[in-house]
Amino acid sequence: MEKHHINALKEIVGEENVLTSAEDLYCYSYDATPGHAHMPDAVVSPANTAETSKILKLANENHIPVYTRGSGTNLSAGCVPTKGGIVLLMTRLNKILEVDLENLVAVAEPGVIVADLNKEIASLGLIYPPDPGTVATATLGGTVAENAGGLRGLKYGVSKHYVMGLEVVLANGDIMNTGGKNVKDVSGYDMTKLFTGSEGTLCVITKIISKLVPAPEAKKAMMAIFKDLDNAGKAVSAIIAAKIIPATLEIMDNATIRTVEDYAKVGLPLDAEAVLLIEVDGNPIVVEKEAEKVMEALKANHADLVQIAKDDAERDKLWAARRAALPALAKLRPTTYVEDATVPRNKVPDFLREVSSIAKKHNVTIGTFGHAGDGNMHPTIVCDIRIPEEMERVYQAMDEMFKAAIALGGTLSGEHGIGLGKLPWMEQQHGLVTMNAMRSIKRALDPNLILNPGKLVGEC
């Protein structure tokens, strides 16, 4: 980037909102993904849509790459400025513009922290369900762009199930509106869904119209411990077959159980092959009934121990194990990859077994936990990125893991997105025809390939 570009950017957003010192640039060279870092030429934070539009127009005319960034907590190198250029920091657009109670809709800017939106609407008895592990730091824009999910994804789905409309700025600076407050809307291509999950490669999101839902009145949590992984798998199927959709249905494998126990001492047996944590929510009477049925399904499938939380304090205790999973694993070694391979839910036990044999084969530490109810697994690899020999083995294991997921009819990502991290396997999952179609969309909307170039669909 040249000096006059920087000056032009300063004119658009003001001197103090363009960062160019080596120290500041270094701080925007990474996100939460290990192993990817690159310095941008400038970090620019606009105050509104108009400024965003001007920045993109300038970048487009001068073929300067633009990497949109929220809080930079993504796990797919989505906002690493791999080719230099502009990091477009959206955190100053942080206003909740409207909470429309008659339509149960919120209109907000992309820099709003997801947990802040939820705080704002809690007193109205409403929730915005997508709740990634980073809900207290991630931005609405980042979660929508990443199509983020979370713990209650089984019942409530991921971001795309809540985004009703968007205001976006296209690569050339044009401002475009999609969708709106209509509950039913089948007018034309579903651009809203296309942009949701586009990971900063098709547009910059500047406004989000999202659906809100009533907060569940009651919750009930249960935990079951299984000495045999297959029984855990059967219990999951039995719960779903009983037509119960819990808000949360989580699983931890043996490696994770041992690590958690070692670190948090929550009382899990070290020889257990799986722990299931289930939470049902909704109307208090229904919740009681569903909890009973879940308990029956767990017992019928030979759970070795089942516990049900009687009150909030007990619910907290049950959750402690699941909450400790990532911290416990992350503390083992310096580098932590939280992967996101997803399989059809009836294939969860098969996948867990595959992962643990891959881990053994390559002598890498992988603990798997995740959302058993929707098949979204988080095999978490801990290693030390500074040891090249170890990393060779890690990459091998990763490769086999993703191939295994695809072979089981699964997908590379249930919620974290593709970015750069999962790119190598994209064609394997989708085939050339689909990849070409995706690349055509990219080229049509961003002919100069300035938006997050090289990510999601690769070079095109």
What is the dihedral sign for C-alpha 168, 453, 31, 21?
A: negative
**Looking at beta carbons only, is 113 or 398 nearer to ligand FAD?**
113
What is the dihedral sign for C-alpha 301, 307, 310, 316?
A: negative
> Which residues in 318-377 contact other proteins (CB under 8 A)?
326-327, 330-331, 334-336
339 makes contact, choosing from other proteins, ligand FAD, none, with CB < 5 to 8 Å by partner type, with: none
The site for other proteins, by CB under 8 A, has a size of: 35
Candidate list 31, 250, 279, 446; residue touching ligand FAD; CB under 6 A:
31
335 makes contact, choosing from ligand FAD, other proteins, none, with CB < 5 to 8 Å by partner type, with: other proteins
Q: How far, in Å, CA of 324 to CA of 260, rounded?
A: 6
Sequence-ordered list of residues with C-beta below 8 angstroms from that of 377, at least 6 positions apart, any chain: 339, 340, 341, 342, 343, 348, 351, 352, 355, 368, 369, 370, 371, 405, 414
> Which residues in 10-29 contact other proteins (CB under 8 A)?
19, 21-24, 26-29
DSSP, collapsed to helix, strand or coil, labels residue 257 as helix
Candidate list 249, 281, 452, 453; residue touching ligand FAD; CB under 6 A:
452
Amino acid type, 342: T
Sequence-ordered list of residues with C-beta below 8 angstroms from that of 321, at least 6 positions apart, any chain: 223, 252, 260, 264, 266, 268, 275, 277
Q: Is 48 in the site for other proteins (CB under 8 A)?
A: no
Q: How far, in Å, CA of 79 to CA of 60, rounded?
A: 18
Q: Is 259 in the site for other proteins (CB under 8 A)?
A: no
Judged by CB under 6 A, the stretch of 71-79, 213-221, 233-241, 346-354 that binds ligand FAD is 71-79
> Which residues in 134-153 contact other proteins (CB under 8 A)?
134, 136-138
Q: In what order do the strands lie in the sheet with 163-169?
A: 96-100, 105-108, 204-211, 163-169, 175-179
DSSP, collapsed to helix, strand or coil, labels residue 44 as strand
Contact residues for other proteins (CB under 8 A)? 19, 21-24, 26-34, 45, 71-73, 91-92, 115, 134, 136-138, 326-327, 330-331, 334-336, 384-386
Contact residues for ligand FAD (CB under 6 A)? 31-32, 67-75, 78-79, 90, 110, 132-134, 138-139, 141-143, 145-146, 148-150, 199-200, 204-205, 326, 338, 415-416, 419, 452
